[in-house]
């Protein structure tokens, strides 16, 4: 599998280490492999803080609070696009915006490691980029939770 991940750090609350980037790479690869996605793939991952993700959440989802992760798929999962993808964009899945500040808070709240939380949020977001949406129905939510659990187990987390 050929995978390109573009990392950008727009926060200073948590240190972005090489090990953290490798963990996210493993989470992305494990998700793609589980889903049988064997195409050349590009994903953008932006690390942010609660203030910046709050603004994005309000702008794009009309939700006036910080969240942990936002997913911006390149293709519309609802099928509202015309299905045409320019060749230069065929490999791009989309963007993940991850609040490391919120991930730290949630890891402490749930009593597990920061690394486990960041990996989980990455898997969750990757499933969104691949077209899954837990907000459509209870069945979709259950399906996505099962996929997340299996992938996290494969990661040993």
- 136 close to 153: Cβ distance less than 8 angstroms: no
Q: Does residue 68 sit in helix, strand or coil?
A: coil
Q: What CA–CA distance (Å, rounded) separates 84 from 134?
A: 26
| pLDDT grade for 99, boundaries at 50, 70 and 90 | very high
Both tokens of 88, joined, read: 């230069």
Q: Does residue 96 sit in helix, strand or coil?
A: strand
8-17 pLDDT, tens digit per residue, is 999 999 999 9
- What is the reported pLDDT for 137? 84
Selected from 3.40.50.2000, 3.40.390.30, 2.160.10.10, 3.40.50.360, the CATH number assigned to the domain covering 3-154 reads: 3.40.390.30
- What is the reported pLDDT for 86? 56
- What is the reported pLDDT for 28? 98
Backbone angles phi, psi at 81, to 5 degrees: -80, 175
Residues 53-80, mean pLDDT to the nearest whole number: 87
pTM of the model: 0.91
């Amino acid at each position: 599998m050929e995978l390109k991940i573009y990392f950008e750090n727009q926060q200073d609350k948590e240190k972005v280490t090489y090990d953290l980037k490798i963990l996210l790479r493993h989470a992305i690869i494990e998700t793609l492999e589980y889903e049988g996605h064997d195409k050349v793939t590009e994903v953008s991952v932006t690390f942010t803080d609660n203030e910046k993700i709050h603004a994005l959440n309000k702008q794009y989802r009309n939700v006036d609070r910080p969240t942990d992760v936002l997913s911006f798929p390149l293709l519309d999962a609802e099928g509202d696009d015309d299905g045409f993808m320019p060749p230069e964009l065929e490999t791009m899945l989309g963007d993940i915006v991850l609040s490391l500040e919120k991930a730290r808070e949630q890891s402490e709240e749930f009593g597990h490691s920061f690394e486990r939380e960041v990996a989980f949020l990455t898997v969750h977001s990757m499933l969104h980029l691949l077209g899954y949406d837990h907000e459509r129905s209870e069945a979709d939510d259950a399906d996505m939770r099962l996929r997340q659990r299996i992938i996290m187990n494969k990661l040993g987390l």
